[in-house]
C-alpha cells in the first residue's frame, strides 16, 4: 500500500486550490470594476482644493456642498440637460431596438431574393465608424435646418447594424418559424404576429440592446456637440465638457465629479430596471427542445 | 361541408444562390433534370411536389404518408397557405384558395413541435385565435373550456407551456386547433416528438377526437402504423409524387408498386426474383422449386391486363409465409422470440427474408444455420414488374 494522501484527498486539495485562485481573480476583477465608481463617489465629496492635493480614498464632507453648487451653477442647467439626454437616449433605445428587431425578423422569417445580400450589406455597414461620415452628416443636417434639433440624434440611430446582427443571431437560436406559422394560421396578421408573439419571445435580447443603446446614446458626445448650440438643448456629456473647460476662476473639480455622479444615475436605474428581463428560458416550452 | 380538392399541385423551390446548386448547363440546348437526394432539380429549381391530385370528401380523414423528404409536409403547408403553390389549383369547399392567406382559409394546424406561444398561458394560447376574431369574452371562455374538457387539460389552463410535459403540450396544441372548429384540420406529424407509449395513447385520443369534432382531417406522418390506424384513406408519397391512394386495407393488400409494398407493413414485405408463368389463362409463380398458382381473383386481373410469362419481383408479406415440409428452401440467420410469435430472419434465393410464425404452431424454434422450407398461397403473392416496379395486377 502506498503511503501519503489518497487520490480522492489529492483531488479535493487540487479542487480547493483551483477554486481559491478562481475566486481571487474574480474578486480582483470585481474590485477593478468598482474601484473607479468608488473613487468618483469619494471625489464627489471633496472640494476643489482637496482634489488639488491629490489622490485620496477617504470620503470628505463636501458632498452636499458640491451637489448644491453643481445644481445651482449658472452656466449649466443640470435638470434640463438630464431631461434632454433622457429624451434622446430613451427615444433612441426604444426605436433602435424595435426597428432593428423588426428588420432582423424580416430577414429571419421571410424568404426573398437578395436576402443574403441584404444581410451582408447591413453587416458591412457595421464596419464603418460613425466619425467617417460625421462631417457629411453635419453638413446635410445643417442644410435641412436640423441643427439644434433632436431628430438627427434619434432617427439615424434607428439603423443600427450591430443591434440588427445581435437580434438576428438571437432569433436563430430562440425563434422557431413554426411559431410564426402557427400565429398566421390562427389568424394573426404579420405585424400583430411580430408585436404580440415575436417581441415577447425576444425580451432578453431587447433588454440587453435597450441597455446598450441607452448607455451609448446617453454617453454620446461627438455628434450632439457638433449639432447642438442652444444652451437649453444641450445634453449631459456636453455640459460636463463645458464645466471642465470653464475658466480658472470658476473651475471647480468637485462640482464636475458631482455632475458625473449624477449623470450615471439614470444609466444605473435603466440597468436595474431592464436587467430583470435578462433571464434565461423565456422561450422554454414553445417547441420541442 | 368542407371538401378539399388538389388539382395537379406542384411545388418548386426556386434557386436562391444558397444551398442548392443549379444544374450544369449542357453544351447544347437547355438542361436535363437531374436527381439529387431524391429531389428533382430542374431549371426552375428544386421540385418538391408534382402532379398531386386528390379529392378529399367532407369529414374524411386523409393521411399523407411517406419517407422524409417525400413532399408530404410541403403539400400540407400548401393546403394551409404557408407555402406558395407553384402550379395547380387548390379548392376548399369549392372555392379556389391558391392566393388566399392562411388566416382566411378557416383551417387549423397542429405542428410537430407544438409551436405554442411560450409567453402565454395555456388558456391564452387556446384563446388567441378566437380573440383575433373579436368574439365576446364569455364565448371565448366557453369554447376554450369545452376544448380543454375534451382534451383533459382544464387543470393546466393557467400554466405556461414550459410547465407542461411533451404530451400535455401536444394536447394544448390540438386544443388550440379544435377551439376554432375549423373547416379543415391539418396535422403535421403531431405525435413524432412523443415517446412510444404516449404516442399510442395520443393516437387513440385522436381517433376519439375525430368522432367528437367531426371535421375534415389531413394528417401527415412517416409512421405507417398511424397511417393505417387513423386514415379513411392513405396517400403514399415518394420523391414528390403520389404512389398510391387507397383505404388502409387496399394499400396493404393491393400495393400499387414495389415502393408501397415495401413501405406499408411491418416487418416489410419479402421480395424475391421469381418467374411468372402463364398457362392457358392460369398464372403460376415459380420460386426455387416452389410453384404456386395465383388466386382466381389475381389471375383474372392479370389476364384482363394481358400479362404474359416473364421474370418478376415476387412480394410476400412475412405474416403470409408458412413453414412447410416441402417448398422453397431457406437458411435461418436469426430468430427473434416476440412472445406470441417468432420472427425468423432467413436467407432464401440469395435474398434476406422474414417469416412470422405463431409460437403455438411451432414445436421447436429453428436454430441458426438450420435449413427450413416455406410456402405461401396464391392469394397473398404480389407480382411486380422487373422494369417498372409496378404491380402487374393494376
Closest among A180, A230, A221, A189 to A88, alpha carbons compared: A221
pLDDT at A6: 82
Closest among A119, A101, A173 to B16, alpha carbons compared: A119
- What CATH number is given for A70-275 in this structure? 1.10.3720.10
With contact defined as beta carbons under 8 Å apart, do B383 and B256 qualify? no
Two domains, one topology: B4-22+34-106+182-253 and B269-385: no
- What CATH number is given for B4-22+34-106+182-253 in this structure? 3.40.50.300
Query: Closest partner residue to B166 among A115, A184, A288, by Cβ?
Result: A288
What digits encode the pLDDT tens for the residues B206-244?
898 888 888 999 999 999 889 999 999 999 999 999 999
What digits encode the pLDDT tens for the residues B148-195?
998 889 999 999 999 998 889 999 999 999 998 899 999 999 998 888
Give dist(CA B109, CA B112) in Å, integer: 10
Give dist(CA A19, CA A128) in Å, integer: 43
> ipTM value of the model?
0.83
How is chain B split into domains, by residue range? 4-22+34-106+182-253, 269-385
The widest CA-to-CA distance across chain A, in whole angstroms, is 90
CB contact under 8 A, A184 and B119: no
What digits encode the pLDDT tens for the residues A165-201?
999 999 998 899 999 999 999 999 999 999 999 999 9
Chain A residue with minimum CA distance to B180:
A186
Helix axes A63-71, A78-109, angle to 10 degrees: 80
Q: Is the dihedral of CA B313, B316, B317, B323 positive or negative?
A: negative
Residue B1 pLDDT grade (very low, low, confident, very high; cuts 50, 70, 90): low
Give dist(CA A250, CA A252) in Å, integer: 6
With contact defined as beta carbons under 8 Å apart, do B102 and B158 qualify? no
Topology at the third CATH level for domain B269-385: OB fold (Dihydrolipoamide Acetyltransferase, E2P) (2.40.50)
Give dist(CA B18, CA B389) in Å, integer: 35
CB contact under 8 A, B103 and A186: yes
Interface of A with B (CB under 8 A): 111, 113, 115-116, 176, 178-179, 181-189, 192, 197, 200-201, 203, 281-288
Q: Which residues have a Cβ under 8 Å from the Cβ of B62 and sit 6 or more positions away?
A: B54, B56, B216, B217, B218, B219, B231, B232, B233, B234, B235
Q: Is the dihedral of CA B179, B104, B116, A205 positive or negative?
A: negative
The widest CA-to-CA distance across chain B, in whole angstroms, is 76
In terms of C-beta density within 10 A (0-12 exposed, 13-18 middle, 19 or more buried), how is residue B392 classed? buried
What digits encode the pLDDT tens for the residues A50-61?
888 888 888 888
Reported pTM: 0.81
Q: Is B128 on the interface with A (CB under 8 A)?
A: yes
Running DSSP on this structure, what letter comes out for residue A191?
H
Residue A287 pLDDT grade (very low, low, confident, very high; cuts 50, 70, 90): low
What digits encode the pLDDT tens for the residues A222-268?
889 888 888 888 999 998 888 777 666 667 888 888 988 988 888 88
With contact defined as beta carbons under 8 Å apart, do B292 and B284 qualify? yes
Choose from B46, B106, B115 for mutation: most chain A CBs within 10 A.
B115
Amino acid at each position: 500500500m502506498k503511503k501519503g494522501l489518497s487520490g480522492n484527498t489529492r483531488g479535493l486539495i487540487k479542487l480547493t486550490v483551483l477554486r481559491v485562485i478562481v475566486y481571487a481573480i474574480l474578486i480582483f476583477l470585481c474590485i477593478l470594476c468598482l474601484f473607479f465608481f468608488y473613487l468618483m463617489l469619494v471625489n464627489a465629496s471633496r472640494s476643489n482644493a482637496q482634489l488639488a492635493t491629490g489622490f485620496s480614498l477617504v470620503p470628505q464632507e463636501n458632498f452636499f456642498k458640491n451637489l448644491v453648487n453643481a445644481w445651482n451653477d449658472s452656466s449649466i442647467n443640470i435638470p434640463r440637460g438630464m431631461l434632454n439626454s433622457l429624451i434622446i437616449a430613451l427615444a433612441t433605445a426604444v426605436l433602435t431596438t424595435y426597428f432593428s428587431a423588426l428588420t432582423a425578423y424580416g430577414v429571419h422569417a421571410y424568404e426573398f431574393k437578395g436576402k443574403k445580400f441584404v444581410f451582408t450589406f447591413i453587416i458591412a455597414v457595421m464596419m464603418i465608424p460613425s466619425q467617417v461620415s460625421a462631417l457629411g452628416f453635419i453638413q446635410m443636417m445643417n442644410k435641412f435646418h436640423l441643427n439644434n434639433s433632436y431628430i438627427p440624434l434619434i432617427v439615424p440611430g434607428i439603423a443600427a447594424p450591430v443591434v440588427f446582427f445581435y437580434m438576428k443571431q438571437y432569433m436563430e437560436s430562440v425563434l422557431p418559424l413554426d411559431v410564426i406559422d402557427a400565429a398566421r394560421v390562427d389568424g394573426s396578421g404579420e405585424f400583430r404576429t411580430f408585436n404580440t408573439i415575436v417581441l415577447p419571445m425576444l425580451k432578453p435580447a431587447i433588454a440587453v440592446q435597450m441597455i446598450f443603446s441607452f448607455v451609448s446614446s446617453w454617453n454620446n458626445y461627438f455628434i450632439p456637440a457638433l449639432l447642438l448650440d442652444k444652451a437649453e438643448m444641450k445634453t449631459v456629456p456636453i455640459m460636463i465638457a463645458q464645466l471642465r473647460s470653464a475658466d480658472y476662476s470658476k473651475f471647480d473639480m468637485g462640482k464636475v465629479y458631482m455632475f458625473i455622479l449624477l449623470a450615471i444615475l439614470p444609466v444605473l436605474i435603466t440597468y436595474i430596471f431592464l436587467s430583470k428581463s435578462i433571464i434565461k428560458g423565456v422561450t422554454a416550452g414553445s417547441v420541442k427542445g | 361541408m368542407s371538401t378539399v380538392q388538389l388539382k395537379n399541385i406542384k411545388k418548386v423551390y426556386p434557386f436562391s444562390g444558397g444551398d442548392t446548386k443549379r444544374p450544369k448547363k449542357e453544351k447544347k440546348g437547355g438542361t436535363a433534370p437531374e436527381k439529387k437526394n431524391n429531389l428533382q432539380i430542374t431549371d426552375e429549381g428544386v421540385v418538391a411536389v408534382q402532379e398531386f391530385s386528390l379529392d378529399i370528401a367532407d369529414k374524411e380523414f386523409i393521411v399523407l404518408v411517406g419517407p422524409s423528404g417525400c413532399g408530404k409536409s410541403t403539400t400540407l403547408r400548401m393546403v394551409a397557405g404557408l407555402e406558395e403553390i407553384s402550379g395547380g389549383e387548390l379548392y376548399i369547399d369549392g372555392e379556389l384558395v391558391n392566393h388566399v392567406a392562411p388566416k382566411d382559409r378557416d383551417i387549423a394546424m397542429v405542428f410537430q413541435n407544438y409551436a405554442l406561444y411560450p409567453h402565454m398561458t395555456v388558456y391564452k394560447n387556446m384563446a388567441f385565435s378566437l380573440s383575433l376574431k373579436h368574439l365576446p369574452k364569455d364565448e371565448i371562455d366557453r369554447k376554450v373550456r369545452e376544448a380543454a374538457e375534451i382534451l383533459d387539460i382544464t387543470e393546466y389552463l393557467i400554466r405556461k407551456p414550459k410547465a407542461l410535459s411533451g404530451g400535455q403540450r401536444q394536447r394544448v396544441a390540438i386544443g388550440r386547433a379544435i377551439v376554432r372548429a375549423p373547416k379543415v384540420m391539418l396535422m403535421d406529424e403531431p405525435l413524432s416528438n412523443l415517446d412510444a407509449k404516449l404516442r399510442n395513447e395520443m393516437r387513440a385520443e385522436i381517433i376519439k377526437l375525430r368522432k367528437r369534432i367531426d371535421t375534415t382531417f389531413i394528417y401527415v406522418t412517416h409512421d405507417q402504423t398511424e397511417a393505417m390506424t387513423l386514415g379513411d384513406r392513405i396517400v403514399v408519397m415518394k420523391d414528390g409524387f403520389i404512389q398510391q391512394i387507397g383505404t388502409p386495407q387496399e394499400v396493404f393488400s393491393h400495393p400499387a408498386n414495389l415502393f408501397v409494398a415495401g413501405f406499408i407493413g411491418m416487418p416489410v414485405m419479402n421480395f424475391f426474383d421469381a418467374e411468372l408463368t402463364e398457362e392457358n389463362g392460369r398464372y403460376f409463380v415459380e420460386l426455387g422449386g416452389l410453384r404456386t398458382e395465383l388466386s382466381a381473383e389475381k389471375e383474372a386481373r392479370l389476364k384482363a391486363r394481358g400479362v404474359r410469362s416473364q421474370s418478376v419481383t415476387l412480394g410476400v408479406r412475412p405474416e403470409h409465409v408458412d413453414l412447410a415440409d416441402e417448398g422453397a428452401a431457406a437458411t435461418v440467420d436469426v430468430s427473434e422470440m416476440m412472445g406470441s410469435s417468432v420472427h425468423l430472419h432467413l436467407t432464401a434465393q440469395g435474398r434476406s427474408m422474414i417469416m412470422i410464425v405463431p409460437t403455438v404452431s411451432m414445436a421447436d424454434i429453428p436454430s441458426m444455420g438450420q435449413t427450413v422450407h416455406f410456402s405461401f398461397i396464391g392469394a397473398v403473392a404480389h407480382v411486380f414488374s422487373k422494369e417498372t416496379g409496378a404491380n402487374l395486377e393494376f
